[in-house]
Copies of this chain bind each other. A is one copy, B any other.
Amino acid sequence: MFVDSVWQGKGSLSVTIYDIAKMAGVSPSSVSRVINQRPGVNTETRQLILKLLEKLNYSPNALARGLVYQSSKTIGILVADIRNIHHTDGAYHIERELITQGYCCIILNTGIDDAEKVHSIEILSHRRVEGVVMMGSVFQSDAVKAAISQSLKDVPVAIVNGWLDLPNVYGILSDEQGGVSACVEHLVSKGRRHIAFICDQPYNPSNTLKESGYLNSMRQWEKDPKAWSYRTENSLEGGYQATLKVLGEHPSVDGIIYSVDLLAAGGLQALHAKRIAVPGRLSIIGINNSTYAEICSPTLTSLDNKRMDASILAARMVIDHINGKSNTRRIMLLPDLIVRKST
């Protein structure tokens, strides 16, 4: 809706161009000219004004400027949960990229359900953001699509690892399906044939792609690979428990692909507990190529899905759109498998 909360006045008035003008004995326009480095002001008065600006520690009001310029110089970053290290890296690069262009970033943790996402989109609309980056395939939903075409229809929206068919939406995708297939192929090349897939919940479009990548490749080796696909909560414990379950139901398992590194780390702990040698008897692969993968012992083979590059690209596409440069609306990055000790 159009009212977020009770917005109450308060605030200590700061120095304005009127104050400066009065002290300098000139008009506000002259002060404005000096501030914006525009020509047409006597060198002496310019010096005087500059001195006063410095002395009174003048700080231009970005809100007022935004009003006249019709431009907030703000872009929004939407992320389900910024604690997800995977998204944080992206947010970092986006912020760094945008700050150099004079933009500030408003970051909102939307949570997972659609209502919250829609609400966040409305907040960004009120703030008159000039562009939005959404991190993660969870934003690839009908509700979000509707909200964008309602509240964000005039600004570029880049979705990292997602896509919506709207004229102002850019999609930076990763070939996760192909990537997981490559994981399967890699395991097969290591002699593995009984491969399971453990996926984090809740399901999102990205996970669907990963799973189908797994299933597609597996059909060559197993009759009913569906039964080897598991879901669990995205945590160390989730990976641990799911792995125990796989081992219990399919003692012959000799390879496991996890939808994220954290799950694989948990799985590794389960395998250690069960005294199953990795990669001796069983090989595992994670996804995201995060620090977690490097910390585990043995270090994890992991699929680098290029999320960092994707984030930077997303920021660039938003900026380019704002600057009138048009871009391809949908691009796909190809993942790399980083082979380490766990396979």
Contacts and interface: CB of A to CB of B under 8 A. Distances in A.
Interface in A94-121: 95-96, 99, 101-102, 104-109
A325 interface: no
Nearest to A81: B92
Interface in A110-137: 122-123, 125-128, 130
Interface stretch (A61-69, A173-181, A215-223, A312-320): A61-69
B294 A297 contact: no
A244 B287 CA distance: 30
Given A10-B322, A82-B88, A95 B122 contact: no
Contact of A125 (B7, B59, B85): B59
A101 B3 contact: no
A59 B2 contact: yes
A79 B61 CA distance: 23
Contacts of A154: 12, 14
Contacts of A297: 268-269, 272, 296-297
Interface of A: 2-14, 35-37, 53, 57-74, 81-83, 85, 88-89, 91-92, 95-96, 99, 101-102, 104-109, 122-123, 125-128, 130, 150-151, 154, 236, 262, 265, 268-269, 272, 291-292, 294-297, 322
Contacts of A104: 106, 108, 123, 127
Contacts of A59: 2, 122, 125-126, 151
Contact of A58 (B2, B6, B101): B2
28 contacts: A2-B53, A3-B35, A3-B37, A5-B101, A6-B102, A7-B69, A7-B102, A8-B69, A9-B70, A12-B154, A57-B150, A57-B151, A59-B122, A59-B126, A59-B151, A60-B126, A61-B67, A61-B128, A62-B127, A82-B91, A83-B92, A95-B109, A96-B109, A105-B107, A236-B295, A262-B295, A291-B292, A295-B296
